[in-house]
Structure 1
Amino acid sequence: MVEKISSGSTYEELAGYSRAIVDGDMIYVSGTTGMDYSNMTLSDDVAEQTHQTFRNIQHVLQQAGSSLDDVLRVQYTITDASYFEQVAPIWGNYFANARPAATCVVAGLINPQMKIEIEVTARKGAAE
């Protein structure tokens, strides 16, 4: 049975998607940004947006019975190539154990204030 996880983002309802889908041991997390859903704010700082994005992803993975260490695949989307040198070490910190297959894309995002979006695929127990 497939489980759908929501973050409460208005984009999910508007565009008809879930923050994550859990299908057996597999967890597919939609592109996630640095919006702080507790107070509906978005920092102007790309590093802080990156940290908040990881906090949002960690929260979803925990709800699915998993963690960042179980991530197998990640796609980073940044809105400016110059951000790479600042945020890549942050990515490396969060994925020091998982070391997932990764892609980085430079593209615009829906909201011009958003500077980064991260999408991951994880498998429960992959870290074991």
Structure 2
Amino acid sequence: MIKQVETVKAPAAVGPYSQAVISKGQVYCSGMLPLNPESGNIPGSTVEEQTKQVLENITALLQELELNLEDVIKTTIFLDSIDTFQQVNQIYGEYFSNHKPARSCVEVAAIPKGALVEIEGIAQMD
């Protein structure tokens, strides 16, 4: 059975999908944009600011399930330019300092809403 996860503490989905779903003890978080959950706007124009907002949004979504970043087992980072890899890595490392999940990072042609970064993840509930 698949359970949908929705919280007002993270940005609403910008399309016909769930913020996350739970299946067999794993939480599959959809790609999170750097949107402020209250305003729906992207705060900040730098990839560093946007990466922080994305990771705060993921943290808020996980907290809704009484989980945290240490429960994350895999992330995928989408960048509008691979040239920002080091800046994103710096901020990412502040959030995942001791616990380091498996990760992929790719450059894409465009990210919804003109964002510079998007991150999706998988977390383990047990």
TM-score computed with the length of structure 1 as normaliser? 0.86
Mind listing any 5+ residue stretches in structure 1 that lack a counterpart?
none
Is 1:109 the equivalent of 2:111? Answer: yes
For residue 35 of structure 2, what is the aligned residue in structure 1?
A: 35
Superposition deviation, residue 2 in structure 1: 2.9
- Superposed CA deviations along residues 20-43 of structure 1, whole A, max 9, x for unmatched, are 112242111000011001122212
The 3-state SS of whatever aligns with 1:36 is coil
Structure 1 residue identity aligned to 2:66: G
Q: How many residues align?
A: 121
For residue 62 of structure 2, what is the aligned residue in structure 1?
A: 61
Which structure 1 residue ranges, 4+ long, deviate > 4 Å from structure 2?
none
Match of 1:9 among 12, 30, 43: 12
Superposition deviation, residue 3 in structure 1: 2.3
| Alignment partners' CA distance in 2, 1:80 and 1:96 | 24
Is the Cα contact below 8 Å between 1:35 and 1:53 reproduced in 2?
A: yes
| Alignment partners' CA distance in 1, 2:95 and 2:119 | 12
Superposition deviation, residue 75 in structure 1: 0.3
Is the Cα contact below 8 Å between 1:72 and 1:98 reproduced in 2?
A: no
- Superposed CA deviations along residues 32-63 of structure 1, whole A, max 9, x for unmatched, are 01100112221212111100101100011111
For residue 20 of structure 2, what is the aligned residue in structure 1?
A: 20
Determine what percentage of the aligned residue pairs are the same residue: 29
Is the Cα contact below 8 Å between 1:27 and 1:64 reproduced in 2?
A: no
Mind listing any 5+ residue stretches in structure 2 that lack a counterpart?
none
| Alignment partners' CA distance in 2, 1:124 and 1:102 | 18
| Alignment partners' CA distance in 2, 1:74 and 1:8 | 18
The 3-state SS of whatever aligns with 1:111 is helix
The 3-state SS of whatever aligns with 1:91 is helix
Instruction: Label 1:81 to 1:102 Cα distance change in 2 as closer, same or farther (>3 A).
Output: same
